[in-house]
Structure 1
């Protein structure tokens, strides 16, 4: 196989052609060859393609003109509006299928596929990717073939066919290696690592990330290396290495900077900020850092019109504020997240309607008058029905989301204190015991109740007793980390799950909480009121049995009560 020229070689060819053969077919050939390879520099690719359209038009090179027009349409779809780009892309395709150059048809199908993908029309996108793959193969463009296998893999991933997606990513990886494109190979390995992590094998994902970073280093650490770094961060977070996850997330953010310090790709920055908050800051209790990262991500998403990303960021912000005890702030962000999610749903539906309309119009233009009238009536009816049901579907979706959120909240939350209830605690403890048993991560449980709580109710009344329980829950929220899980079991009995915490650390944390309970101004609730608690702690590494762990904590609690109360026993 003939060696594939590097980007540096192609840049030199274009520079030489402009110096010695400006305005000739030689310059045009060098220009389109470079533009077709600059898939990871979309801004420059779009500029060269627009220049190529003008030069090819002057020279009468129809095949190259169509290829360049298709690249421009792809740029518009990616960076402005897929709905705006789709009519041009379909018009280019109609002309390209009659051109003898298979690469013109390949690029046209490729651009149409990108438009449909941006409009969430996955099946239509997949159809055009298959056509583009066949045309690239016919034209002998091995790199184009690799890009189509990669594109096809991402579409199968969206459809939930992860095994098929992984097979295609690995096939594309082999092609990029064959073509000496280490950056493309690194991107494929990063995607494979994400699939391994989703399949529940973060250790394999970490090993694949190592291979991806080797490829990116060979390529000189291009902008795309951020994908390997974010995959690293996500995989490391899965195994509890939040310190390293944070370092990789920060490295990815640094990679997304130009030499003058400005952002290379603002869309990447939004993803990076949310990865940093999700994998490193929240799990380690850095609430302030997570809040700052997510607020910056939402602001950038709002600035760029990224409604879907802003909705995700607002939802994460709601979780952060709730963990920090700011219930009102959490509710505001959750409300905005719901509004944005509804907006996304409506927008996607509208875009699909426009996509169908454009597709129908292009098909109808090629038919005879009678067939045109018959299909126009049927298609108009479909579009009218879609338009009629749009608001109804959106309203139903919003109502279902609201009801679902309400049901989830009711099923997981103690109505008096607002913290988790027994059901949610049991489910979370089973999950964390599974992680502890698999990875050897330490896990602790603390069970406590109020000393002589019955006497509080008898002397001051049940209203004061309930106020004591609410105050204890508020103290728990302020004292615990974001990753800890406080819950009320019933009556005056509480439990706290402390992930990645050994018994000694758990005892120290409970002693701090116990001191905070003693120091609290209980007399504000009732004159002469004092409150103390007795705590039982159990924990250690490889805690695989949640029931046994709870029994040990209960036994420690009763030992503490027998020894005089107001103590922490383990």
Structure 2
């Protein structure tokens, strides 16, 4: 018997403090009730928190995380998986590695208990990865323990025992009594299953049984010293099973009676019934078939056994074998038929549960994919809108901002300059005799000259500046946080770059120059008046002979 430890991005309105406090109290209560093994009450607390209007995604994830664990312990695997997957979706998006590991562990157990071992493994592995990435030895211990259980259920007892040994070694570094007890018990159980598999394959099971025996004796001693009745009862149950396999019947009977007394005193009814079956196995192993038969028949009349179909199948199989051995074939056939009917019923129920779990898993996955697709479509629409906006505000030839961009960006620059008391300068720039370039060399060469000019403009601008193609061969350069005497050298470098450029490589005999007019923004000056002064300064540069700079103050 194996023991186990018990948003999309959107605008979220501030949560009412009273509501937040109420939800947190309920979630903390759910955690405490889980530790105490009171899973029905713990589930109720988590569901109450989840139903409160205004519960935020992080609280929803916490509530679903607790519900997944509580429902697992209560045997409601469908609810456990559904809540676990929903919690995991949020925790993955927030990068909470340790809680991801915890939920993965819960899901691994839920799928293992229902026979869906491949799905269980798909959670056991990331549980271990998340625990190690989160650098938590305690989380890593529980992930190793869960992985050991999964591999054991898959029939890979060697891997299951190896992982159990890793978990036991890690538990020695932790100051956690439950972890140490669970590590001993689970590894002992894995050794028992490995020994049974070895016996079926005609291999010697003794080494595995001896290892398991030592582990279970240590677990019983530790649990008794700590007064942990539940762990002691489970450890005794496993110890009895190993002693039966080793033919140590007197010691097995002694520990079984001790286990039964402990189970009865603490109300562990299911464990008490299981011990009765073990006592009957001891009697049978000793050759007292009539006494063993009477004990098992009595057990089958006990109402509480209806809750444990696996135990019923074991009893019917044992009774079938004993009656057959005594040549009581009618009785043997009756137990055989009951055993197969129960097996078929259990198989059918398990298959139905597996189907529902897989459907739930697919539904959660489909919902996640649809949400991701919606987000992707929204992102594509946003990108497309930005592209269209960029196209509307960008000159297609030079890829510089256009007049529409100027109308949008310049007021913002002016507001910033006013708020920070920073100066602005505007430079109107125009090619000299550009018509001659088009006439003598063609419009294609003219376009190449303009694109080259755009590169030069970018070279003299900063992030705080704005370079715009106004149209034709005319450009505007706005210098942010720049005085007029600072803008002049920048324009001079630009004029020199145009003048000295190897235009002959663009077209034989081609030469180009530009003229510039500078104007500083005056306090309370209108944009139109400011740019008009820069344009008048440009006209002055043209009038004085071109290839030069004139400021509006000249």
Report the structure number with the largest CA radius of gyration.
2
TM-score by length of 2: 0.44
